[in-house]
Amino acid sequence: MEIFEALGGGIATVLTLQNLFLLAAGVTVGMIVGVMPGLGPSAGLAILLPLTFGLDPSGAIVMLAAVYYGSMYGGTITSVLINTPGESATVASTFDGYPLARQGRAGPALVMAAIASFVAGTVGAVLISFFAPMTASVAKTFGPPELFLVVVAGLLTLIVIIGRNKLLGVLSALLGFALATVGIDVGVGQQRYTFGSTELINGIDFVPVAIGLFGVGEILYTLWRGGHKESIAYAKVTVRDRAFWPTRQDYRDSRGAITRGSLLGFFVGTAPGAGATVASLMSYNMEKSVSKTPEKFGKGAMAGLAGPEAANNGASAGAMVPLLTLGIPGSGATAVLLAGFLMWGLQPGPLLMEQNPDFAWGLIASMYLGNVMLLLINIFMIPSFASIARVPFRLLAPIIIVLCVMGTFTVNGSIIEVGIMLACGVLGFFMRRYGMSPAALVIALVLGPLAEETLRQTMVISGGDMTIFLQRSTSVWLLVLMALLLLIPLLGPWIRRIVDAQVRDLGRARRYRERQERKNTVTGPDADVAAGEDRREGHGSAEHEKDPAGHAGPGGTA
Amino acid sequence: MRNRIIAGIGAVTLTITLAACGGDGGGGEAGEYPSDELDWTIAFGPGGGNDIMARTMVDIINQYELYPEDIRLENREGGSGATGWGYLLNQRGSGYGISTTSGSFITTPLQADTGWTYEDFTPVGLFATDDALFVVPGSSDIKTWEDWVEFASGEESVVVGGIGTINVDFIIHELLAEAAGYEIEYVPFNEEGQLQTALLSGSLDGMVSNTGSILGQIEAKEVTPLLFTGAEALPALPDVPTGVDKGIENLPAMPRGMILPPDAPQEAQDWWIKTMKEVVETPEWQEYIESNYLTEKILWGDEFYESLGTTVNDFTEILTEAGAL
């Protein structure tokens, strides 16, 4: 219980009136920053970090944690409402979040996302308190081979999201991988497809591509469909309606997804470099695999939003583990935080938690309180955000396009990136028009360079020997996990059929035995009753037989 | 309701536009220097080594009231410094643009068509160098530089890591290996975090890193420092030998200096040399040097560029030999 004392102490230090004000202000500012397409948590932190130069570390960290959660949730808002992820960790939230908003369920979607984030943040804070040292020792075994496997596990999501037309889906992913090759080749330092431009030497950033493909592409597509002329049915739903809040069924659907997402997110988040993006994609993948109704995914399944949302928040808690216990940043946002440590005169490293326990626990407590504040503020804010979905498209479309241009420009102040964004907008339109998958492209673009980098590092380390993946115990475990992830949806129906068959055979054997016994002992009307029961049981098992067949269909497509 | 939302979005947009557009202007030439707002470019993101140095300098300048007008500080990151220094390049002839340098000031023009080299800018001076530590995992039996050389010479090749390829880290590894007579397989990383975990996970035999980034691991005995690339031993780690102690001289380091736009007025250059001479004498600057584990090395004006010239030639030679250019 010593741990809880530490966490409680942290919360107590943070809970001053001034800090509460900073928390509320930070969450609000973060949400506004995050709602700008293109500006996610790392950008939000980077913009505000200079303001904390020379500030007292505790106050600064409270503010930054609040901004972090606010902007993360801001990204979710845009993902759900206008199909534009603010950063790579919320790409998975567009898959089912946006369809939900289109069905007029933006309110429930946003509330569920906030609840999922809150639960995951809480689980994360508790897990940090208990497992930080243990998970740190696992995180320490993550070299390039392990990171490569984690990234590949994230890429497995491509299988799930590619959709019905496999060929077009694969083509979309390949386009993403192709775009990912632009920039400096990390292996030898040569430039690839930069045409001498200094703007391209760091590669094509995810932000303009995602904003173009999702945000602008969606608008062009809606225009083409004639969406500006449609009167929107769901515009009639008002804030006071019960339809604005999740139904009991939504909670039931999301419960499992949130729990799984929180745990998965936390542990994936502890792997340095993989983080929230891979976690949210893996969670989506997993939810679709375990779901009884996988056909609903991509069409507005609540679990498909709640899982990834919990996972990306769980991952941001998980990323604190290597940061605090090893002094190694696990994500873009924690790298900015690490820079902040240096700025505030703290020495990051394995001893940080030991030497500055007040600060470390204050940080964990701030992260947690940021979550609480987010939930509180959201209860008031969601109705107004969700009503954006009620603005007629002909008014909303130009505003979104302007916001997309501004957001893209603000990130790096690069006009070339604005050009890339607009070009991707047109590309996104044609991809949607012809049934390609913009999401597959974006996932390939984000994870492609990581996969390439880590695989090449691995190959240099092993001298080109592929067996390196079997020689390291952590990577063997990861391989086993990946095999399970792949096999469960494939083998699931088969295993269920075998189990059902076993149960049926046992039942039959038992009934046969009973009948034999009865024949020997019972006579008269009792036998008829027994036979009747038999018929009923037989009927039951026939129904049972149909069940696995029903599951085989969707399982086979996964 | 609808109007209010649109107004809200408009307000947010406007605020952000104003923030984003604050970048231009400045550069009036008339009258005595300095008589205008200063446009200070940080060519990297917030929190990096370059950013911390620039912000420390501005703090000191403001504290001692050395610059009479406003100083506007902006991070213009991107393209490994190309964006920020490219911005300074476009302020040709002005005395009111300024920026600070780092390792990329030399290496980025080597690998990309930046449209400038260091020679285009007007030098103010070099104040310090950011040196590196060579470390091995704390769990290994290698405890001294001699142990390492013995181990490395016995292997066909050793696997070492650092940040980037056309970068100081790679060159240090090449020079060390050449001087001590062993073969290396160099693994480039993009991020310090992944580099450090790769070493801790046993994937690498050794790596180099900036003192500030790795000191925490050293204190926790997760890694063992074997060699410091600076000319003199680090006060924080007096027992770690330097390259010079082991007969390896002229190891490169990141230059922490200051530059003005191309063809900046003579009076601006003179004014900044005079002012920075005051800045580097302040206790705050000394505190910065110490807490960031830099090595003080002061060269003014053309002397700064002579030393950069030598470094660039060395880099080009080594990288060409290694086939990276």
Write out pLDDT tens, residues A418-436: 999 999 999 999 998 988 8
- pLDDT at residue number B137: 95
pLDDT band for B16, please (50, 70, 90 cuts): very low
B33-130+253-321 and B136-246 share one fold: yes
Interfacial B residues in 82-111 facing A (CB < 8 Å)? 82-83, 86, 108, 111
| Domain segments of chain B as ranges | 33-130+253-321, 136-246
For residues A54-79, average pLDDT: 81
Task: Identify which of B194, B220, B222 has the shortest CB distance to residue A273.
Answer: B194
pLDDT band for A555, please (50, 70, 90 cuts): very low
Give B41's DSSP letter. E
Contact A335 B217 (CB under 8 A): no
Range of weakest confidence among A88-97, A337-346, B66-75: A337-346
Question: Which residues neighbour B174 within 8 Å (Cβ) at sequence distance 6 or greater?
Answer: B184, B186, B318, B322
Range of weakest confidence among A37-51, A450-464, B114-128, B307-321: A37-51
Residue A525 has pLDDT above 70, yes or no: no
- B42, β-bridge pairs: B75
Residue B49: closest CA among chain A residues belongs to which residue?
Answer: A339
User: Side-chain half-sphere of A462: how many Cα atoms within 13 Å?
Assistant: 17
- Return the amino acid letter for B140: S
Per the listing, tokens 């990834």 go with A308
- Candidates A387, A353, A109; CA nearest to A239 is A387
- pLDDT at residue number B25: 38
For residues B63-88, average pLDDT: 86
- Vertex B202, ends B198 and B206: CA angle to 5°? 75
Write the burial class of residue B281 (CB in 10 Å: 0-12 exposed, 13-18 middle, 19+ buried).
exposed
Contact B47 A338 (CB under 8 A): yes
Residue B318 has pLDDT above 60, yes or no: yes
- pLDDT at residue number B95: 92
A197-212 pLDDT tens trace: 777 777 888 888 988 9
pLDDT band for A222, please (50, 70, 90 cuts): confident
In degrees rounded to 5, what are phi and psi of residue B212?
Answer: -60, -35
**A395/B119 Cα distance (integer angstroms):** 52
DSSP strand pairing (B206-210 vs B132-137): antiparallel
For residues A255-278, average pLDDT: 85
- pLDDT at residue number B300: 95
Share of chain B above pLDDT 70, in %: 90
The distance from CA A421 to its chain's CA centroid, rounded to whole angstroms, is: 23
- Vertex A223, ends A219 and A224: CA angle to 5°? 115
Contact A328 B17 (CB under 8 A): no
Contact A265, A430 (CB under 8 A): no
- Candidates B313, B305, B295; CA nearest to B127 is B295
B197 interfaces chain A, CB cutoff of 8 Å: yes
A35 interfaces chain B, CB cutoff of 8 Å: yes
Contact A457 B196 (CB under 8 A): no
A382 interfaces chain B, CB cutoff of 8 Å: no
A21-40 pLDDT tens trace: 888 888 888 888 888 777 77
Contact A144 B187 (CB under 8 A): yes
HEC secondary structure over A59-90: HHHHHHHHHHHHHHHHHHHHHHHHCCCCCHHH
pLDDT band for A241, please (50, 70, 90 cuts): low
Contact A470, A476 (CB under 8 A): yes
- pLDDT at residue number A542: 40
Contact B187 A460 (CB under 8 A): yes
Contact A351 B216 (CB under 8 A): yes
- The CATH homologous superfamily to which domain B33-130+253-321 belongs is Bordetella uptake gene, domain 1 (3.40.190.150)
A393 interfaces chain B, CB cutoff of 8 Å: no
In degrees rounded to 5, what are phi and psi of residue B236?
Answer: -75, -25
pLDDT band for A262, please (50, 70, 90 cuts): very high
Residue A2 has pLDDT above 80, yes or no: no
Residue A44: closest CA among chain B residues belongs to which residue?
Answer: B46
Contact B197 A272 (CB under 8 A): yes
Residue A445 has pLDDT above 70, yes or no: yes
B-chain residues within 8 Å CB-CB of A240? none
HEC secondary structure over B103-142: CHHHHHHHHCCCCCCHHHCEEEEEEEEECEEEEEECCCCC
Residue B117 has pLDDT above 60, yes or no: yes
A-chain residues within 8 Å CB-CB of B204? 143, 461
Range of weakest confidence among A329-343, A507-521, B1-15, B198-212: B1-15
Range of weakest confidence among A216-225, B26-35, B141-150, B213-222: B26-35
For residues A511-519, average pLDDT: 82
Contact A255, A429 (CB under 8 A): no
Give A232's DSSP letter. P
DSSP alpha helix (H) spans, chain B: 2-21, 49-63, 82-89, 104-111, 145-154, 168-180, 192-200, 211-219, 266-279, 283-291, 302-321
Contact A187 B188 (CB under 8 A): yes
Residue A181 has pLDDT above 70, yes or no: yes
Task: Identify which of B59, B82, B190 has the shortest CB distance to residue A198.
Answer: B82
Per the listing, tokens 């800045």 go with B279
What are the angstrom distances between the C-alpha of A527 and each of A522, A537, B58, B95?
7, 15, 99, 108
A149 interfaces chain B, CB cutoff of 8 Å: no
Highest mean pLDDT out of A285-294, B13-22, B138-147, B159-168: B138-147
The distance from CA A42 to its chain's CA centroid, rounded to whole angstroms, is: 16
- A95, β-bridge pairs: none
Residue B200: closest CA among chain A residues belongs to which residue?
Answer: A140
Range of weakest confidence among A167-181, A205-219, A526-540, B116-130: A526-540
- pLDDT at residue number B21: 43
- pLDDT at residue number A130: 78
Contact A387 B5 (CB under 8 A): yes
What are the angstrom distances between the C-alpha of A177 and each of A180, A454, B191, B308?
5, 15, 21, 39
B-chain residues within 8 Å CB-CB of A187? 165, 188
For residues A388-401, average pLDDT: 80
- Candidates A250, A319, A335; CA nearest to A279 is A319
The distance from CA A366 to its chain's CA centroid, rounded to whole angstroms, is: 22
Residue A359 has pLDDT above 50, yes or no: yes
Interfacial B residues in 58-77 facing A (CB < 8 Å)? 59, 73, 75-77
In degrees rounded to 5, what are phi and psi of residue B70?
Answer: -75, 150
A-chain residues within 8 Å CB-CB of B78? 199, 202, 412-414
pLDDT band for B299, please (50, 70, 90 cuts): very high
Alpha-carbon torsion, ordered B311, B101, B224, B217, to 10 deg: -170
- Candidates A62, A553, A512; CA nearest to A292 is A553
- pLDDT at residue number A163: 67
Per the listing, tokens 């369809």 go with A99
User: Side-chain half-sphere of A459: how many Cα atoms within 13 Å?
Assistant: 8
- For residues A47 and A106, the model is more confident at A106
HEC secondary structure over A150-212: HHHHHHCHHHHHCCCCHHHHHHHHHHHHHHHCCEECCCCCCEECCCCCHHHCCCCCHHHHHHH
**B89/B74 Cα distance (integer angstroms):** 15
Contact A328 B193 (CB under 8 A): yes
**A267/A330 Cα distance (integer angstroms):** 11
**B70/B55 Cα distance (integer angstroms):** 14
**B126/B258 Cα distance (integer angstroms):** 7
- pLDDT at residue number A232: 54
Q: Is the ipTM of this complex over 0.85?
A: no
- pLDDT at residue number B182: 94
Reported as type and span, the H/E element at residue A377 is helix A357-386
- Tokens for A27? 């969450």
For residues A371-388, average pLDDT: 80
- pLDDT at residue number A539: 44
In degrees rounded to 5, what are phi and psi of residue A466?
Answer: -70, -20
Contact A49, A335 (CB under 8 A): no
Interfacial B residues in 239-298 facing A (CB < 8 Å)? 291
Q: Please state which CATH number belongs to domain B136-246.
A: 3.40.190.10
For residues A273-280, average pLDDT: 79
pLDDT band for A273, please (50, 70, 90 cuts): low
A-chain residues within 8 Å CB-CB of B56? none
- For residues A522 and A236, the model is more confident at A522
- pLDDT at residue number A408: 86
For residues A339-366, average pLDDT: 77
Share of chain A above pLDDT 90, in %: 14
Residue B152 has pLDDT above 60, yes or no: yes
A384 interfaces chain B, CB cutoff of 8 Å: yes
For residues A280-308, average pLDDT: 88
User: Side-chain half-sphere of A203: how many Cα atoms within 13 Å?
Assistant: 20
For residues A100-127, average pLDDT: 88
pLDDT band for A63, please (50, 70, 90 cuts): confident
